[in-house]
Amino acid sequence: MTRVVHVHRIRGIGGSERHVLTLLPALAAEGIEPVFLGLDDPAWSVEPFYRELGVESVRLPCPRDFDPRLARRVRRELRRLRPDVVHTHLVHADLYGALGAGRSVPVVSTKHNDDPFRRGPFRYVERALTRRAARVITITRALRRFCIDLVGLPPGKVEAIHYGLDRLPEPWGENPELDLPDDARVLLCVARLAEQKGVDVAVQALAQVREVEPRAVLVVLGEGPERPKLAAEGVYLPGRVGDVASWYRRAEMLVHPARWEGFGLALLEAMLAAKPVVATRVSAAPEIVADDLTGVLVPPDDAGALAAAVIGLLGDTMHAAELGAAGLVRARSLFSVGQMAGRTAAVYASVSADR
């Protein structure tokens, strides 16, 4: 049995953490022995992640971006765990994993996002780290192109494997009470409150939507630095909630106005909930959302276009239902957990054979 240690810096449960929580149990079903080495940021709430993890784990505190003492501890733990493969997720894990794995253990690195900083001077660091990696996995084809064309990673090492989901997240706690009107028409946004996610554009669009449909409200599930600037009439910010699935069921559609996006796990969750999606035509969104078949794609930073798409779906509930139903079919056929785990296990087999 191939023993694979996954390394990730943990800061709550975002898209990459949700990916790990889904992937590791599925790898066990593929005959892989997954172990998780967590680099815990004490400034964030990390316990909910470990309550859901369900595989062997080792936890090390990681309060700073780089700490030579932590690099030594990671190396010691990896020697003790004796993996056949080390699989890293995101920048911190790439760095500590490359330093700790040693030359005899192959490293696989998953890239989860097309953050703009990766196109700048950091790309030289990433190229150096990638020389240590046997294989790079990107979560979409668009991200693969980004890594090759803009970061400069070698094409022969980079393979796209989509995220997979079979069901909505299980609840881990209660949702806070929101004083919504009984007849509210809920537009749901599941995102960090950060510039990348474009929630400010959704807030601007909501004002236009409410001129046509005053019952429309925007419920944003997430936390982040932009919270103070998002307060507006009809906007609800409950933060991170314990039962996301109940909000998907309550909503009429998902609004996802990201400015850039590695995958956009909320897109897939909405499709599994049979809800239509209004998203920006950026990064990988066109790989996930089929325009006018499972949702509507609009330009980024265009509140008017976003509002028009939302108004159109609110005014034609039959079409909205058709888009949602088609999204469920698409999610189940193209983005299953089994496909994701099987292709990832094949990467491990390949790099182990190369070694």
For the chain, 355 residues long, give each residue's pLDDT as a single digit of tens.
Answer: 899 999 999 998 888 999 999 999 999 999 999 999 999 999 888 998 999 899 999 999 999 998 999 999 999 999 999 999 999 999 999 999 989 998 889 999 999 999 999 999 999 999 999 999 999 999 999 999 999 999 999 999 999 999 999 999 888 778 888 889 999 999 999 999 999 999 999 999 999 999 999 999 999 999 999 999 999 999 999 988 889 999 999 999 999 999 999 899 999 999 999 999 999 999 999 999 999 999 999 999 999 999 999 999 999 999 999 999 999 999 999 999 999 999 999 999 999 887 7
Same fold, 2-164+336-354 and 185-334: yes
Q: b/e string for 29-54 if b means 16 or more Cβ within 10 A?
A: ebebebbbbbbbbeeeebeebeebbe
Rounded distance between C-alpha atoms, residue 219 and residue 243, angstroms: 14
Angle between helices 265-272 and 317-334 (to 10 degrees): 110
pLDDT at 315: 97
**Triad 26, 32, 37: Cα angle to 5°:** 85
Rounded distance between C-alpha atoms, residue 24 and residue 33, angstroms: 9
Q: Describe the strand order of the beta sheet including 216-221 as a list of residue ranges.
A: 235-239, 216-221, 185-190, 253-256, 277-280, 295-298
pLDDT at 175: 86
Rounded distance between C-alpha atoms, residue 44 and residue 244, angstroms: 19
pTM to 2 decimal places: 0.90
Q: Is 136 helix (H, G, I), strand (E, B) or coil?
A: strand
Q: Is 10 helix (H, G, I), strand (E, B) or coil?
A: strand
Which class is domain 2-164+336-354?
Answer: alpha beta
Residue reference for tokens 């265009």: 302
Structural domain spans, the chain: 2-164+336-354, 185-334
Helices and strands (DSSP H and E) totals, the chain: 13, 13
CATH node for 185-334: 3.40.50.2000
Rounded distance between C-alpha atoms, residue 49 and residue 36, angstroms: 12
Altogether, the residues listed in the chain come to a count of: 355
The residues that bridge with 256 in the sheet, in sequence order, are: 279
The residues that bridge with 187 in the sheet, in sequence order, are: 218, 253
Nearest to 279 by CA among 249, 310, 304: 310
Rounded distance between C-alpha atoms, residue 251 and residue 159, angstroms: 35
Is residue 206 a contact partner of residue 218, using CB atoms and an 8 Å limit? yes
